Structure 1
Amino acid sequence: MFLLNNMLLTIDATMGGWELFKNSLLPMITGGIKYTIPLTLIAFTIGLALALLLAIMRLSNSSIVRAPSVVIVSAVRGTPLLVQLFIVFYGLPSLGMTIDPFPSAIIAFSINVAAYASEIIRASILSIPKGQWEAAYTIGMTRNTALRRIIIPQAARVSVPPLSNTFISLVKDTSLASLILVTELFRKAQEIAAVTYDFMLIYIEAAILYWVVCFLLSIVQQAIETRLERHVSS
């Protein structure tokens, strides 16, 4: 952190455009590696686990089990992510629960991902033909066993493309964490812009970095989808 602060101190308004661009690159990349990428990975992993739970709850035959998941998904999908982030970071302290910026961001993003991903997973499970259920029942499987061993593995392949899009969107959404003082990529851009007053150049540079990351992830997404298509066709 001390080294990164020194980097920021060496950046001033007297620098030319290209020189400022080069000197600003390392602090922003460092913020991305230290906070943006870990925040994305952790929040998506936790959110995916919660999404599976919510999806299974929504598919339950019991209204007592199904109702809470319906309310949670509706509430999260019906409110802005920024509001959710502020409730966790600024609202919970009024209830005696003070959480640091990075964990607050993880909680808010995980819940948000869970709500949206749960609908993707639920739709993927419903897309599996009923004959798969019936075949599982005929060989003596229970509903839970059929879901775990037959339905979910097939639904996972169907849900990969939309879940990949959710992951890529999450990378961009992490920029909101700058508003609760998480020093990720965009927060570093804000700090540099505040010193140099060259907002256009710095914010365009941040946009380019986000675009590069999302572009690389889209290539990985296409490779995974192609592999899955070949696996299904074979």
Structure 2
Amino acid sequence: MNGLIEQWKGWLPNLLDGYVLSLNVTALSLAIGIPLGLLLALLVTAKSRWIRTVALAFVEIGRGAPALILLQFFYFGLPSAGLTLTSFASAVVALACCTGAYTSEMIRAGFDAVPYGQKEAALVIGLNGLDALRYVVVPQGMRVALPSLLGFSIMMLQATSLCFTIALPELVSRASNIGSATFEYMPVLILAGLLFAAICVPSTFAVSALERRLSRHAVR
């Protein structure tokens, strides 16, 4: 056991650098993807048929294509069209597209959960359609969607492990390199898993607690 701890101490600085990179990719992907999801949730309910069709196509492609395919497309596919992205940029763009597609449905479900009477009341007091959306539907809908969005954010942190396939030196990539150099795959992968669990497990409990709290104050 002491030998294992000594190994972990030697590997930890390298793995922490990869972990920080994983966190950065996750943060940027969510910072871009969740606003994109909000925009798509609004566009799929637009009056224009063409806008709805384009938005729905983006959502369905983003949800239907595995994140690994999107990563490969942006890193290996785009250079064929004359556009080259770094592994970090490719990871952020691919995961942001995936985030936007999935969260749009979560946000739209939140909007649908807002009682129609709330929307009618907004119009009765003199708000136009845009103001009703801005001040009534979006705040209440986002509150409903918040637990799902937070839960998805945890999944996106875990999904950064796929980025090793495009040579991004994130946590799993560094763990794999250490395993290749030392042939100690199991100990280093256990340590990498523990680093993920250090954030994901407490976050999962926090999201569950938040969901229970919000359910007691749900919009009726």
When normalised by structure 1's length, the TM-score is 0.87
CA distance in 2, matches of 1:222, 1:116: 20
Of residues 89, 110, 130, the one that matches 1:124 is: 110
Q: What is the CA distance between 1:229 and its match in structure 2?
A: 5.3
Q: What is the CA distance between 1:122 and its match in structure 2?
A: 0.5
SS of 1:183 mapped into structure 2: coil
When normalised by structure 2's length, the TM-score is 0.93
**Which residue of structure 1 lines up, in the alignment, with residue 7 of structure 2?**
20
CA distance in 1, matches of 2:41, 2:142: 13
CA distance in 2, matches of 1:20, 1:179: 26
**Which residue of structure 2 lines up, in the alignment, with residue 42 of structure 1?**
28
CA distance in 1, matches of 2:214, 2:31: 21
Q: What is the CA distance between 1:109 and its match in structure 2?
A: 0.3
Q: How does 1:146-165 map to 2 (within 5 A)?
A: 146-165=132-151
**Which residue of structure 2 lines up, in the alignment, with residue 221 of structure 1?**
207
Q: What is the CA distance between 1:216 and its match in structure 2?
A: 2.6
1:29 aligns with 2:29: no
Of residues 44, 47, 53, the one that matches 1:61 is: 47
CA distance in 2, matches of 1:124, 1:227: 16
For structure 2, the residue ranges without an aligned partner over 5 or more in a row are none
Q: What is the CA distance between 1:55 and its match in structure 2?
A: 0.3
**Which residue of structure 2 lines up, in the alignment, with residue 96 of structure 1?**
82
- Aligned pairs, how many? 218
Q: What is the CA distance between 1:26 and its match in structure 2?
A: 2.1
CA distance in 1, matches of 2:127, 2:47: 18
Of residues 141, 156, 179, the one that matches 1:193 is: 179
1:143 aligns with 2:126: no
CA distance in 2, matches of 1:214, 1:93: 34
Q: What is the CA distance between 1:31 and its match in structure 2?
A: 1.4
CA distance in 2, matches of 1:114, 1:36: 19
Identical counterparts, % of pairs: 35
Q: What is the CA distance between 1:224 and its match in structure 2?
A: 4.1
1:73 aligns with 2:59: yes
- Please report the RMSD computed on the Cα atoms of aligned residues, expressed in angstroms: 1.8
